């Protein structure tokens, strides 16, 4: 974004959903008293918020971006109110929040597959980021192993699809190798 001074080739929704995901897992970690979840997701939320601010700075159509941000923040506030004010039992709150975080994380990992039909139809993986696929594989595998270590299904189950979708994307990169110009490659890293 900074190099091109434009957001034309960058989707906004992944920044926003990842920020909400980090904030949700931060709440789960706080409720559980797990400092690894707290620190990692606090750092992730700060970084995603910075990405959102940079996106807003370079975005020409700010109204739509601010509307999406306000909508998801409203959902987050409603969720926060529900989990922290209306569910008094800590164990029930932990289970419901864990389930919410799991569903949200699974949908986040499956969302890149929405481009699958376009990739296959065009026989081009130019829409996919190879570096993001590597990062997704490493992140989801790390969280899966950490979840197994804690014996926490709310961490294991939602991260396993991240591993599967990464291998699907690797297969697509193998089947349809990228042929792109240098500017596109710089944008993807």
Q: What confidence tens digit (pLDDT) does each residue in 61-94 have? A: 888 888 988 998 898 899 888 988 898 898 999 9
Q: Any idea what the CATH number is for the domain that residue 50 is in?
A: 1.20.1280
Q: Can you give the pLDDT at residue 14?
A: 78
For the chain, residues with pLDDT lower than 50 are: 181-184
Of 41, 71, 86, the position where a domain reaches its end is 86
92: in domain: no
Q: Quote the domain boundaries for residue 118.
A: 109-188
Q: Can you give the pLDDT at residue 181?
A: 40
**176 and 140 housed in the same domain:** yes
| Whether 94 contacts 32, CB under 8 Å | yes
Q: Any idea what the CATH number is for the domain that residue 140 is in?
A: 1.20.1280.290
Q: Which residues contact 90 (CB under 8 A, 6 or more apart)?
A: 31
Q: Can you give the pLDDT at residue 189?
A: 52
**113 and 182 housed in the same domain:** yes
**117 and 65 housed in the same domain:** no
**60 and 140 housed in the same domain:** no
Please state the domain count of the chain.
2
**21 and 77 housed in the same domain:** yes
Q: Can you give the pLDDT at residue 183?
A: 46
**123 and 70 housed in the same domain:** no
101: in domain: no
Q: Which run of H or of E encompasses 122?
A: helix 116-122
Distance CA 85, CA 5 (A): 43
**65 and 138 housed in the same domain:** no
**116 and 149 housed in the same domain:** yes
75: in domain: yes
Q: Can you give the pLDDT at residue 60?
A: 83
**Could you tell me which of 38, 33, 147, 151 has the C-alpha nearest to residue 90?**
33
Of 32, 53, 86, the position where a domain reaches its end is 86
**135 and 176 housed in the same domain:** yes
**82 and 113 housed in the same domain:** no
Which CA distances in Å does 177 have to 119, 123, 168, 187?
11, 9, 14, 17
Distance CA 173, CA 161 (A): 18
């Amino acid at each position: 974004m900074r190099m091109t001074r434009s957001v034309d080739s960058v989707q906004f929704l992944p920044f926003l959903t990842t920020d909400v995901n980090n904030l949700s897992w931060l709440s789960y970690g706080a409720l559980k008293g797990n400092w690894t979840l707290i620190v990692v997701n606090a750092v992730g939320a700060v970084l995603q918020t910075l990405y959102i601010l940079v996106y807003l700075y370079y975005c020409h159509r700010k109204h739509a971006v601010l509307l999406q941000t306000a909508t998801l923040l409203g959902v987050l506030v409603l969720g926060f109110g529900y989990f922290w004010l209306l569910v008094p039992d800590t164990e029930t709150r932990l289970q419901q929040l864990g389930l919410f975080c799991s569903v949200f994380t699974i949908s986040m990992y499956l969302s890149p597959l929405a481009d699958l039909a376009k990739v296959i139809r065009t026989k081009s993986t130019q829409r996919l980021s190879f570096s993001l696929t590597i990062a997704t594989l490493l992140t989801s595998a790390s969280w899966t192993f950490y979840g197994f270590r804690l014996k926490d299904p709310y961490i294991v189950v939602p991260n396993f699809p991240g591993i599967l979708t990464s291998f699907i994307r690797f297969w697509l990169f193998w089947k349809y190798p990228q042929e792109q110009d240098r500017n596109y490659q710089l944008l993807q890293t």
